[in-house]
Structure 1
Amino acid sequence: MEFKILAPTGALGAGFGAESLALGVAMKPDVIACDAGSTDSGPYYLGSGEPKLSREAVTRDLRLLLKARDGLNVPLIIGSCGTSGRGEGVDRVAAMAREIAAQEDLTFKLARIYSDQDSDTLARRFTEGRIQPLDGAPELDLDTLISSHVVGMMGVEPIQQALRDGAQVVLAGRASDTALYAAYPHMHGADPGLTWHAAKTIECGAACAIPPSADGLFVHLRDDHFDVEPLDPDSRLTPYSVAAHTLYENANPHLIAEPSGTLDTTDATYTALDGRRVRVAGARYLPAETYTVKLEGSRLVGYQTIALGGIRDRVVIEQLPKLLPFAHDYFATKIQDVFQGRVDPDDVTIDYRLYGQDAVLGARDPQRAEPVHELGMLITVTAPTQETAHAVATFVAHTSSHLPISGYDGLASTVAYPFSPPETDRGPVYRFTLHHVALPETPYEMFSAVHEEVTG
């Protein structure tokens, strides 16, 4: 038994070489699968429903994949549509698919799988104790839960059901990255350990290639091993680069949790077949006693305005530990004075992030004690409305450029701004609210599918 899987890129819209795709198509895959989203870029995309990658970039990739699927007559599976997997993202990609079908004279059966969770059902699951925290999860209350936009991360089962129901193109909401690649071989009897390990290896496209790139990988999945190779002729894989990918986005280098169980790569072996290809064997899949669906939630926390500046004065830099607390106290009083009680200072956050000192690693920076001669300063003001954030930022930016420096007489300039005006409105700001799992009665109940015939 052999299954051939084409993973054209790590994210729909990130791109891939047309020549690479052609090489993959020539090897006649049984299925094409592609991820389209992630939480890596932060909570904005889940909170707002906006995609990270441009419509033009996504359309370009989708057009090539739909044409490849049509020529091969194999399933095309795309998950986490629209970056976050919200329903808007699924609908947006579906609209692109219909448009491409009309332009390219393509016909296919399309399934849209939605992963959005309604607040009433979430509240009921919460009160029944069927929402449980993962390690490091924040405290969760009912108000936070129902005020967040929440998606569930589907496993292979809803995708497999869509395929059994005749779908040739599956556009899924939020999904486990690996489930997209595991769904087809898993439902046709492939070894589950090898299937999930192969899926984990190719989930990010050629990210595990040397050099890493926005391009594709191809897998030959067999009874007791799988072979993986890059589609770019100038790329290569090594046992080390393939094995290292099991570390990516995982707390444990050997145990990788999925909704239905855990992939155990402890005994996996990685063998170079030549200078470009690697053979992998030995992984096991351990079914879970309880099926779980990871929940991801995001909610609006305010609006932001930022100002970016630079400091190149050692006297100023040395006094910043005293100056910034002084500035915070001053601005709290200033907000009360300017807004005459209409804005509570506790509802406004003013943050100074100093690039070159503590901005990235903070107190854990091993070079923290070394002298600094230049700093970049990012001032971020977050408030309940954009109007308030901008108004506060104007006097914060102005005053921050003339903080009182001990040892200097008269007016001193402390921060230089490269832009005029220095204030830039960022718009709405969101935060993640959930790191939890739901305990459904079946793998399907939290997801809904809609089927349609798309004709060119």
Structure 2
Amino acid sequence: ECAAIAALPGSGSDCMFGYLHEDNFVLEPLSPLRKCTTLSVAAHTLYEKTNPYVLPGPGGAINLHESKFEQIDDNKVRVSGSRFVPTEEYFVKLEGVKRVGYRTISCAGVKDPIMISKIDSITQSVKERVQNNFETYGITDFFLDFKIYGRNGVMGMFPDAPQRTGDELLIIIEAVAPTQEQADTICGFARSTMLHFGYEGRIATAGNLAFPFSPSDCKMGEVYEFNVYHLMKVEDPKKLFPIEYVQF
């Protein structure tokens, strides 16, 4: 499915041709705009992998420790040395999800350098204000988060990532609650609270946030999370995946 993503420049919409030989395979992109290089093909072993050398699958794993990548002409690469190592027992992967609620988001821009310098304490104060408000009505079963792009919006999940802050921020306010109506209400309250939040050093009082869209809040619908993700040992893998041939 990845096809020419393993070429340079990478593309998810072009085709790749694979030549299968007894002890190797050769990759060739079909677009004249792209080339396979040893680097582009080898780099694809990192794609969605926790380990670039061992790629587990049903019945075993592909071992790439001795794989060899060779440039055989201007746009073809030969890969050899890969080995399939079967496991003693056969496993199939199970994946499943459960619904956890409904999501509403609001996107807002921040330019004020004073607010940007205090953004962590501001978002924490807004969270506490929202929680305190809805506890009054007995609503505690919800999730509220502020994803801050321009300050580790992508890498923020890693505690050792360097803390670099831009001179503009995009804040995505996210509320997840048991019903869409509750998510809408919680997100709207959080957005309004942050819009008018008074922080030390604030000069303008017209509003702290710039909204690129109107209406500012967007209903995202149902939210799911993984609740089944493991390997199941089976005695006969063919029993789980019967094949029926029909002649017509």
CA-based RMSD of the aligned residues comes to 2.1
Q: Deviations over 1:19-50 (max 9, x none)?
A: xxxxxxxxxxxxxxxxxxxxxxxxxxxxxxxx
2:66 aligned residue: 267
Q: Which residue of 2 aligns with 1:210?
A: 8
1:311 aligns with 2:110: yes
Are the aligned partners of 2:99 and 2:223 in contact in 1 as well (CA < 8 Å)?
yes
Do the aligned partners of residues 288 and 303 (structure 1) sit closer, same or farther apart at CA in structure 2, a change above 3 Å counting?
A: same
Alpha carbons 1:404, 1:412 under 8 Å: kept? no
For the structure 1 residues 372 and 205, does the alpha-carbon distance in structure 2 shift closer, same or farther, using more than 3 Å as the test?
closer
Equivalent residue in structure 2 for 1:235, among 34, 42, 55 = 34
Deviation at 1:396, TM superposition (A): 1.8
1:283 aligns with 2:82: yes
Aligned to 2:219: 425
- The one-letter amino acid paired with 2:88 is E
Letter in 1 for 2:124: P
CA distance in 1, matches of 2:91, 2:231: 6
Q: For the residues of structure 2 that align with 1:449 and 1:308, how far apart are their CA atoms?
A: 48
CA distance in 2, matches of 1:400, 1:224: 62
> What residue in structure 1 maps to residue 161 of structure 2?
365
The aligned counterpart of 1:293 is: 92
Cα offset for 1:206?
A: 1.3
Check if 1:356 corresponds to 2:150.
Answer: yes
Separation in 1 of the partners of 2:231 and 2:242? 18
Distance 1:436 1:287 in 2: 18
Q: Classify the secondary structure of the residue corresponding to 2:228.
A: coil
Question: 1:244: which partner in 2?
Answer: 43
SS at 1:437's partner residue? strand
Q: Could you tell me how far 1:332 is from its partner in structure 2?
A: 1.4
- How far apart, CA to CA, are the structure 2 residues paired with 1:225 and 1:284? 10
Distance 1:418 1:223, change over 3 A: closer
From the two aligned structures, give the one with the greater strand fraction: 2
* Secondary structure of the corresponding residue to residue 89 of structure 2: coil
Q: What runs of 5+ residues in structure 1 fail to find an aligned partner?
A: 1-9, 11-203
Is 1:223 the equivalent of 2:223?
A: no
| Contact kept? 1:292, 1:439, Cα under 8 Å | yes
- The 5-angstrom pairing of residues 88-127 of structure 1 reads none
Q: Matched residues in 1 for 2:45 and 2:121: separation?
A: 45
Q: What corresponds to 1:331 in structure 2?
A: 130
How many matched pairs?
245
The counterpart of 1:404, out of the listed 176, 180, 198, is: 198
Percent identical among aligned pairs is 35
Task: Find the residue that maps to 2:234 and give its secondary structure.
Answer: coil
Distance 1:217 1:255, change over 3 A: same
Corresponding residue number in structure 2 for 1:90: none
Q: CA contact under 8 A between 1:260 and 1:291: conserved in structure 2?
A: yes
Shift, 1:421, TM fit: 2.0
Q: Which residue in the other structure is 1:381 paired with?
A: 175
Give 2:172's aligned amino acid: L
In structure 2, list runs of 5 or more residues that go unmatched: none
C-alpha distance 429-371 of structure 1, shift in aligned 2 (>3 A): closer
Quick check: 1:405–1:412 contact (8 Å CA) kept in 2?
no
Q: Are the structure 2 counterparts of residues 378 and 453 from structure 1 closer, same or farther at C-alpha, using a change threshold of 3 Å?
A: farther
Relative distance call for 1:377 and 1:443 in structure 2 (3 A) is same
Normalising by structure 1, report the TM-score: 0.51
Superposed CA deviations along residues 183-212 of structure 1, whole A, max 9, x for unmatched, are xxxxxxxxxxxxxxxxxxxxx211111111
SS at match of 2:50: coil
* Structure 1 pair 271–372 and aligned structure 2 pair: CA distance change class (3 A): closer
Counterparts of 2:20 and 2:48 in 1: how far apart (Å)?
23
TM-score, reference length from structure 2: 0.90
More helix as a share of residues: 1
Give 1:448 shift: 4.1
